[in-house]
Amino acid sequence: MEQEIINVSEIFGEYVFNDSVMQQRLPKKVYQKLQETLAEGGELDLETADVIAHEMKEWAIEKGATHFTHWFQPLTGVTAEKHDSFITAPKSSGKVLMSFSGKELIKGEPDASSFPSGGLRATFEARGYTAWDPTSNAFVRKDAAGATLIIPTAFCSYTGEALDKKTPLLRSMEAINKESLRLLKLFGNESSKKVTPSVGIEQEYFLIDREKYLQRKDLVYTGRTLMGAMPPKGQEMDDHYFGAIRERVAAFMKDVNVELWKLGVSAKTQHNEVAPAQHELAPIYEEANVAVDHNQITMEMLKKVAYRHGLQCLLHEKPFNGVNGSGKHDNWSLVTDDGCNLLEPGKTPHENTQFLLVLACILAAVDDHADLLRESASDVGNEYRLGGNEAPPCVISVYLGEQLEEIIEQLLETGEATHSLKGHHLNTGVANLPNFRKDATDRNRTSPFAFTGNKFEFRMVGSQDSVSSPNVVLNTIVAEAFSNACDALEGSKDFEADAQKYICELISKHQRIIFNGNGYSKEWEEEAAKRGLPNITNMVDAIESLTTDKAIKLFEKFGVYTKAELLSREEVEYEAYAKEMNVEAKTMIDIVSKQIIPAVINYTSVLANSINAVKAACGADVSVQTELLCESSDLLADVQAGLSALKMAVEEGKKMEPGKAQAVFYRDSVKKALDDLRIPIDKLEMIVDKELWPMPSYGDLIFEV
Ligand code: ADP
Ligand code: MG
């Protein structure tokens, strides 16, 4: 097949109102004013905003846009938008003008009463505002709705409380910026003006055939399969991981890349993942808030392009029991405006006091707030994945690798570190292959929080979740640790010695958080318990971490969340858990009543008829039919009993007030009933004639894409 040539540098950012477009189109003064505001924070005056809005509109119209929308990220975890066209009221001539004012750019006012607010906003105070986030570029999106100018915004209530996932992230970025600059000053750095958390997000997903997807009401309504027997082959052959990408999938990936590049998302890596039909996409890292926005765009694009290819992209953390689920690795580092990464150990980390202080602070932060980190990676789907030998356990620990581990040991033993392990040359034993230097440190795939060269990789996050919360937590807890270090060291007379001492103290106090072994093992769970590390095994138990005194103090100190905002998030999460479990339960009831039970009755009738027919015709042996009939009828009775139990649990759950007690009930009773009901169904799937089974099997779904 003749391939079209894709000129990446030409299409990259084609639909983004980015810096170079602004430089080109905005009057110099306006451009400068915007840059100043971006650098220093603060508000943009309306006059400047008017000029920017006008140019933005002209540019968008050239790209075909008829509408604009403020694009925001409410607490649902997905994005929201409300489109307005650029047209103004028709003049007497009957013609319309296309207009877009600074006011419309800066502020929007969607009726916010239907977004979760956790009590922050009574329904009678439905006002919510969206506010332009100039740090994340506006862009034009083309789809069936035509072309729309999309303006990234924050979303808050009439009284200024954050109702979204962007506002706290921006606040946390300010906090870590401020405290990082303080820390750099300790080391005499006066030149860096800004420190930004850099984030690179690896996105895992499944891709299945859309026709088959539509035949699975569980996938349609809940994003995961609620039943399904294992196919003869799962992922045990390890032949999918990094395997050759199938044509149909490759064509999909190509289109996803092109669409993302046009929107300025630097899609970089793609490969097949461990489970059949599972894949991964990773962009190049960028500023945290832009990375979070781009991840939302990526998730939307994966779904949209899949649809075009007759495929369905599943972003759920655990679409199929028994094969690996999907996560989202959050790679995080701190980079100065003059290009220095605070997490870069350099060639001789033992001499790099600044790096060691940063590292010690991060260890302290993660140890002090392991519960918050765990909470930040909680969503309902992720509960089916964490701790399942495919994803990090629920215990937070830090993997440092051999080189840093060895330096930590030196510090703990003697109070100073005198040498660093070096990477050696790797000899492949084949003359024609180049020998290359290998890293001083190997990787550990089982750690929830791993140092990987010059960044930390938080691997707990769920595949469909927003990565905002994990980064809010990371930024804030590290800001606190930096702030404590600065408080302790700012007045020091003998900085080198005091810093060394401080580093050793932190490390010795928090060394329990370091673990370099196999995080999936049972022994680690026991060892972690001995060390007193929290093991929060489920989302419902994790939620209260948001509102401990410790958490409130932390977030209020750095202006990231008020107490009211934390309480609201706690409420929203309990409710989200109960609601999602309720949908799963109702979907199960629907499928079992209308599809599974009728199918099994059908099958047993066929068997019964066969028995009668054989008996009437010749009296031959009908033991096989009889055995199958007995077995399937018994299982059918189990299904009926399980269905009644689930119905009862749902009825009871529905009567409860939203809140913790209800979430606990859904976890302990509804989820349990759901899991129990699945067991006889999966057994029946292995017995009943495939022609009579009412939906595609796991094998059909994941092996026949
Ligand atoms: P893997 O973890 O699969 O080996 P990579 O190391 O290539 O993958 O990187 C994974 C992600 O981490 C990518 O999105 C990459 O851009 C990002 N990344 C690389 N360096 C940094 C850094 N210093 N800070 C934040 N993210 C980074
Ligand atoms: Mg990774």
Q: What is the pLDDT of residues 184-226, one digit of tens each?
A: 999 999 999 999 999 999 999 999 999 999 999 999 999 999 9
Tell me, in angstroms, the distance from the centre of ligand 1 to residue 200's CA: 6
Tell me, in angstroms, the distance from the centre of ligand 1 to residue 47's CA: 41
Q: Name the DSSP letter for residue 443.
A: -
Query: How much is the pLDDT for 160?
Result: 85
Report the alpha-carbon distance of residue 167 to residue 422 in Å, rounded.
43
Atom of ligand 1 minimally distant from the CA of 269? 7
Tell me, in angstroms, the distance from the centre of ligand 1 to residue 391's CA: 18
Q: Is 39 left (phi over 0), alpha (psi -120 to 50) or beta?
A: alpha
**Per residue in 282-315, pLDDT tens?**
999 999 999 999 999 999 999 999 999 999 999 9
Q: Name the DSSP letter for residue 670.
A: I
Query: How much is the pLDDT for 17?
Result: 97
Ligand 1 pocket: which of 241, 272, 455 to mutate (most atoms within 8 A of CB): 455
Tell me, in angstroms, the distance from the centre of ligand 2 to residue 181's CA: 28
Strand partners, 196: 335
Portion of the chain with pLDDT greater than 70, in percent: 96
Query: How much is the pLDDT for 115?
Result: 80
Residue 387 near residue 504, CB atoms below 8 Å: no
285 in contact with ligand 1, CB cutoff 6 A: yes
Helix 288-308 vs helix 468-489: crossing angle, to nearest 10: 170
Residue 313 near residue 302, CB atoms below 8 Å: yes
Count other C-beta atoms under 10 Å from residue 211's C-beta: 11
Among protein residues, the one whose CA lies closest to atom 11 of ligand 1: 200
Sorted by sequence, the CB contacts under 8 Å of residue 223 that are 6+ apart come out as 314, 315, 316, 319, 381, 464
> How does residue 435 score in pLDDT terms, banded at 50, 70 and 90?
low
Report the alpha-carbon distance of residue 25 to residue 10 in Å, rounded.
19
> How does residue 274 score in pLDDT terms, banded at 50, 70 and 90?
confident
**Alpha helices (H) in 558-622, listed in sequence order:** 563-591, 597-617
Q: Checking DSSP bridges between strand 138-143 and strand 146-157, what pairing results, if any?
A: antiparallel
341 in contact with ligand 1, CB cutoff 6 A: yes
Atom of ligand 1 minimally distant from the CA of 200? 14
Query: How much is the pLDDT for 421?
Result: 84
Ligand 1 pocket: which of 279, 281, 290, 331 to mutate (most atoms within 8 A of CB): 331
Q: Tell me the residue type at 627.
A: E
Query: How much is the pLDDT for 256?
Result: 96
198 in contact with ligand 1, CB cutoff 6 A: yes
Report the alpha-carbon distance of residue 153 to residue 162 in Å, rounded.
12
Query: Quick one: which of 396, 399, 398, 371 has its CA closest to 386?
Result: 396
* R_g (Cα) of the chain, nearest Å: 28
Query: How much is the pLDDT for 231?
Result: 85
pTM assigned to the model: 0.94
Query: How much is the pLDDT for 4?
Result: 78
Q: Checking DSSP bridges between strand 398-399 and strand 449-451, what pairing results, if any?
A: parallel
The pair of structure tokens assigned to 113 is: 């009463």
Query: How much is the pLDDT for 41?
Result: 74
Average pLDDT, the chain: 92
> How does residue 123 score in pLDDT terms, banded at 50, 70 and 90?
very low
455 in contact with ligand 1, CB cutoff 6 A: yes
Among protein residues, the one whose CA lies closest to atom 14 of ligand 1: 200
